[in-house]
Amino acid sequence: MAARMGIVAPNGIAQKAVAKITWGGHIDPKSIQYFEDHATSTSIGDAVKFTAMSQIYGEGRPSNEPCYIRSVKPNFGNLQAGAGLGFIRTIIALRNRIILPQANFRFFNRKIDWANAGIKDGWMDGWIEK
């Protein structure tokens, strides 16, 4: 088992394993266009989680078909009562066919290889037609 930084710290190996089990080989992760994430809001935690997600959803994607990742956490903070807000925002994005920029976004995490991730975050917006 991989060493962890703490009981609540993201574990990239475990996240990839959970995603593999979840999809069960029936859904190609490259077909996912949008991912609503909780975000740890820590420099190291977000890098670990983002790296795992980019390996699942981003590797091998054409550059013109990225997976967009967002989180409502910057809008409201870390509150359990708002757990459904990410789902609601996803429904709004699907309905209106637009992905809104990340709220309160100021800079990219330098621990993340954004250029080669196959995932877009932050100020980037748009929608991919398929």
Mean pLDDT for the chain overall: 76
Which residue, 43, 58, 38, 49, is CA-closest to 14?
49
Q: Phi/psi class of residue 77: alpha, beta or left (left: φ > 0; alpha: ψ in -120 to 50)?
A: left
pLDDT at 98: 80
Q: What is the pLDDT of residues 47-101, one digit of tens each?
A: 888 888 888 888 888 888 888 888 887 777 776 777 788 888 889 888 888 877 7
- Looking from the CA of 18 toward its CB, the CA atoms found within 13 Å total 9
d(CA 73, CA 121): 14
The answer to whether the predicted template modeling score (pTM) of the entire model surpasses 0.85 is no
Q: What average pLDDT does this structure show over 22-48? A: 78
Domains of the chain, first to last: 30-120 (3.40.47.10)
